[in-house]
Amino acid sequence: MQALILAAGMGRRLGEFTADNTKCMLPVNGVRLIDRMLNQLNRLPLKRIIIVVGYEAENLKDHIRRKFQDRNIVFVENPIYDKTNNIYSLWLAREMMVEDETLLLESDLIFEDKVLEMAFSSEYPNVALVAKYQTWMDGTMVRIDDECKIISFIPKKAFKYSDTELYYKTVNVYKFSPEFVRDHYLPFLEAYIKVLGQNEYYEQVLRVITMIDIADIKALPINGLHWYEIDDVQDLRIAETIFAEPEERLKKMQHSFGGYWRYPDVLDFCYLVNPYFPQPKMIDEMKANFEPLLRDYPSGMGVNSLLAAKYFGVSHDLMVVGNGAAELIKSLMGFIGNGTVGVIYPTFEEYPNRLPADRLVKFKPENVDFSYTADDLIEFFAANPVDTLLVVNPDNPSGNLIDMDGLIRLAEWSAQAGVRLVIDESFVDFADCGAEMTLLRNEILRAYPLLSVMKSISKSYGVPGLRLGVLASADSVLIEKIRKDVAIWNINSFAEFYMQIFNKYEKDYVRSCELFRQERDVFFSELSKVPFMRVIPSQANYFLCELSGITSAGLTLRLMTDHNILIKDCSSKKGFPADRQFVRIAIRDRFDNARLVSALAEFKIEG
C-alpha cells in the first residue's frame, strides 16, 4: 500500500499564516500539519508516500527531506497550482495510483491516529471515511445506506439544512484499490477534466461514479474520533483546542469563555442557563421570522426599553436594555464614580473586577456554606461604611438567597444610610419562591431611588446567545447616563423579537422553572451521594461543591479528559480559603445530570 497526499494549494483563507509557506507547514500546537501526518503514516507498512506539491514547493520539499530522510517519499509537482484545484493535482499522480492500493489524504487535515488506521485496516477495497454532520462542517456531504454504501455525494448547491440528519461529511481520507482507480476513477477523471476543466475537486468524480452506480464505495463512519479540516484562522484555533494535551485543551476551553457549540462532544456544566426554556414552539416562531430579522435593522434604545418594560411589567422610564448584562455592568461600574464599594466574597466577579482593589470593602461569611442574611450585611457595612453595596441574589457561586423581607430591610437601610444598592437578581427565578422574589416592580423601584436591579436574560430564560440584560432604577440620572453610554442599536433584531413575543410563552417559562426546581432536588440528592463531594444547598441553577481527596483543578481536568464534561474550577475565584477546594456545577436536565453523576461514580478517591 502507498499514500498520496495532496499539498499543492495556497491556503489563501489563512492570510498571513500562509504568506510564505504552504498550508500543511502550519504548526498546530507546535507540530506542523505535514509532520504530524507523515509521522502517522510512518506507523503503517507503506511502500512509499507520494506528495503533490505546488505553492512554495521547494520550502516544503526541503523541510520533508531534512526530517524524513529514511522514508521513501516521492514528489509530484503541480506547476499551475494557482490556476487549478485538487482534481488536477490528483490527475498528475494518476499513473502512480494504479500501481498499488492508495491511501488518499488532503494535507490540511488533522486527525487522531485511529482515523488513519481505520482506512488502512478496512476489509473493503474502496472506502471513504465519513463523520456524522455537525454544524461546523462544510464541503462535500454524502448519504449512505444501511450497509454503509455511499449512495450519493451531495454538492454544495444541493445541500439542504432540512436533511442534515441524513448527511455525513467526508473526512477527505480514502482508500482505493488499483483496479477501481484504473477501471472506474481515471476514465471518469479524464472525461471530467476535459469537459469541466482543471479547477474542480476530485470528489466530483466520485459523485458521478456513485450516481451511475458502477462501483461499490463503502463509507466508514469514524464515530466520534477527532478530526478537523483547517481552512482559516478560526479552524486553526479550534484544531489547536481539540488536539491539545489535556491540560492545555482544558485551558483553551476555559479561556474561550463560551462558544462550545463548536465542540459538540463537550457537555457544558460550566455556563449557567435554563435547560427547559425556551420550548420548541417559541424557537419555531423565531426560525419562521429569521429572514426579516436578519435583513432588517433592529429598533433603537427607546423601542427596546418599551419591550423590556412589557417583558417585566415595569415602567419604561425605569428601564434600560443591554447587550447582555455584561454591557450594563461595565456602564454601571463606570457611573459609580470614585466611592467605596461593598462586595460579598466569593461572588460573581464581573462587578469588582472593574474596580481597583483599594475601593473594595469585602464581606466574607465565616461559615462553611458561605451563607449570609440581610442583617449580616447591614451589621457589617454599618461598621465598614461604603458608598455602594453590590449584592448578587442568589449569589454566585454559593447559591445563597436573601429572602424578600431581607431585601426590603436592606433597601430601607441603604436609603437611610445614603448607600447606592445594586441587586443582581439574574438567578432569582430559580429560587423556591420564584417570581415572588423579584424587585422588578414599579412600587419597589420608586420607593427606593438608590436601588438598582440588574437581571441577565441569558440565565433563567435560556437564551445566552441573544445577549440580553436589563437594568432598572428610579434614579433617572443613572438610567439616562447608561442609555447614552451604550450604543443606540446595542441589541440585534433577534433579541428584540424575542422580547416582543415572550409574553405569549410566559406560562411555558413558569412551567420550566417548576421543572427546574424539581430537577434541582433530584440532582442535589444524587450529587450528595458522591463520597468526595460536599454539596452546598442552592437557590440558583448551580451547586457549589467542596471536594476532599482531590483538587478542584484535578477533578476538572479528569472530567474533561475522560468524559468531555466541563465544570467550573473555583480555584481562581477570590474569597475561598486556601486550604479548601471547590467546584461549581451547573444544573442541566435529567439526562445530562445523570451522565455527570455516572462519571463521578467512576472516580476512586479517598475522601
Cell numbers at 88, concatenated: 488536477
Cell numbers at 19, concatenated: 504568506
Single-letter amino acid, residue 36: R
CA-to-CA distance for 403 and 261, rounded, in angstroms? 36
* Residue 494: count of CB within 10 angstroms of its CB: 18
Instruction: Tell me the helix, strand and coil percentages in the chain, rounded to 5.
Output: 45, 20, 35
Provide the pLDDT for residue 185: 84
149 neighbors 206 (Cβ within 8 angstroms): no
8 neighbors 97 (Cβ within 8 angstroms): no
Residue 607, pLDDT > 70, answer no
Provide the pLDDT for residue 9: 85
Helices within 222-279 (DSSP H only): 233-242, 246-256
Provide the pLDDT for residue 214: 66
Which of helix, strand or coil describes residue 160?
Answer: coil
pLDDT, tens only, 405-451: 999 999 999 999 999 999 999 999 999 987 789 999 999 999 999 99
Homologous superfamily, domain 244-275+508-601: Aspartate Aminotransferase, domain 1 (3.90.1150.10)
CA-to-CA distance for 147 and 217, rounded, in angstroms? 11
pLDDT, tens only, 204-229: 777 878 777 666 788 899 988 989 88
Domain boundaries, the chain: 2-239, 244-275+508-601, 280-504
Cell numbers at 462, concatenated: 435560556
Cell numbers at 77, concatenated: 509537482
End-to-end CA distance of the chain: 54
For 266-288, what is the mean pLDDT? Answer: 94
DSSP 322-376: EESHHHHHHHHHHHTTTS-EEEESS--TTTGGGS-GGGEEEE---STT----HHH
Residue 186, pLDDT > 90, answer no
For 41-57, what is the mean pLDDT? Answer: 93
CA-to-CA distance for 516 and 541, rounded, in angstroms? 8
Provide the pLDDT for residue 213: 66
Provide the pLDDT for residue 338: 84
For 529-558, what is the mean pLDDT? Answer: 96
Which of helix, strand or coil describes residue 65?
Answer: helix
* Residue 604: count of CB within 10 angstroms of its CB: 8
Task: Give the CA distances from residue 185 to residues 85, 97, 196, 200, 584, in Å, rounded to whole numbers and listed in that order.
Answer: 17, 10, 16, 15, 56
What percent of the chain shows pLDDT beyond 90? 66
Residue 255, pLDDT > 90, answer no
Task: Give the CA distances from residue 443 to residues 85, 314, 390, 418, in Å, rounded to whole numbers and listed in that order.
Answer: 69, 9, 21, 19
DSSP 402-421: --HHHHHHHHHHHHHHT-EE
Provide the pLDDT for residue 193: 83
DSSP 182: I
pLDDT, tens only, 476-533: 999 999 999 998 889 999 999 999 999 999 999 999 999 999 999 999 999 999 999 9
CA-to-CA distance for 537 and 489, rounded, in angstroms? 40
DSSP 122: -
DSSP 54: B
Higher pLDDT, 509 or 249: 509
Residue 189, pLDDT > 60, answer yes
Task: Give the CA distances from residue 605 to residues 292, 451, 570, in Å, rounded to whole numbers and listed in that order.
Answer: 55, 47, 19
CA-to-CA distance for 454 and 74, rounded, in angstroms? 65
pLDDT, tens only, 331-388: 999 998 789 999 999 999 999 999 999 999 999 999 999 999 999 999 999 999 999 9
Sign (positive/negative) of CA torsion 17, 22, 24, 29?
Answer: negative
Q: How many CA atoms lie within 13 A of 345 on its CB side?
A: 17
Higher pLDDT, 200 or 89: 89
Residue 97, pLDDT > 80, answer yes
CA-to-CA distance for 206 and 503, rounded, in angstroms? 52
- Model confidence at 95, pLDDT cuts 50, 70, 90, reads very high
Helices within 390-547 (DSSP H only): 404-417, 442-447, 457-461, 476-485, 493-501, 506-527
397 neighbors 362 (Cβ within 8 angstroms): no
Phi, psi dihedrals of residue 331, rounded to the nearest 5°: -65, -45
Does domain 280-504 correspond to CATH entry 3.40.50.1360?
A: no
Look at domain 2-239 and name its CATH class: alpha beta
In 3D space, the residue among 82, 77, 1, 80 whose CA is nearest the CA of residue 43 turns out to be 1
pLDDT, tens only, 571-606: 989 999 989 999 999 999 999 999 999 999 998 876
Whose cell is 445530562? That residue is: 592
